[in-house]
Amino acid sequence: MTNLEKINQFTRRELQEEEVYQFDVILCNNEIDRDLERFSDQALQQMQKLFIGKTGIFDHNPRSNNQTARIFDTELVRSPDQKTKDGRPLISLKANAYMIRTDSNSDFIREIDAGIKKEVSVSCCAGKQICSVCGADRRESVCTHIPGNYYGEKLCCVILDDIRDAYEWSFVAVPAQVGAGVTKYFRSQENSDQNLNQDSPEVSQLLSEIETQMRSEVLQLCGRQGAVSKALQTAAERMDLRELLQFKKSLLEEQKPDLSGVEIQLAGFRQRS
């Protein structure tokens, strides 16, 4: 099946070659990112199927007028000569995308060809968040390992696995690296769009356990701050869960070496004849 035939599976009428602009995009890979998370190889295989037909938008803003492109095919690209930060062979999820040529998007197409518009990130639902050290699913059990720390020679990170849905992929302003801002949108539950009853005993217990674990991790990080450790620990004791999450991220960025993650970006832009 030709690319045009694959594209026409998503159209209401058969498009002609001259109407279509095609380009390749690296959606993500198995490298450790700026949030000290990574996709498992199995997750990439799951996303390879799930992202076919998904729309490309801007900045994860789910408005219909933000839709600009669509994926019509995907493949996994293995790079045995390239290694991730923890020594695994690099695997990338590459997508083939298309957009219709119009007067209104001609400048955008030129920006793609010029390499100005290139960085993207993905939005998906992962059912598991696995500790790379002990293998615990951090959504279901308490894990004391801190992402970014080394345990022996093993770097701790969170492995995103069991991808249940792919929502969209977005053009973003900055790459996924330390200090550059969020470029990967991640939902940890399939029902994340629904309102949870936070007064229920089950949810209250879960939130309490998460907050306890987070405070323990933050207190450990505060203990490495020398003379100001006590003051930081006192402040952390008074924080709620949201504040602890932000505080932990700040401490990790200050204390850890540059573990900047994958610069998830468009690759090999080209118009196909």
Per-residue pLDDT tens for 212-242? 777 777 777 777 666 667 777 777 777 777 7
Per-residue pLDDT tens for 109-133? 999 898 888 888 888 999 999 999 9
As a whole-number percent, the residues of the chain with pLDDT over 70 amount to 77
At residue 88, does pLDDT exceed 50?
yes
At residue 187, does pLDDT exceed 70?
no
Q: What is the mean pLDDT of residues 91-117?
A: 92
Q: What is the mean pLDDT of residues 130-147?
A: 91
CA-CA distance, 210 to 190, in Å (whole number)?
19
Q: What is the mean pLDDT of residues 1-10?
A: 95
Domain boundaries, the chain: 3-187, 201-255
pLDDT of res. 183 = 32
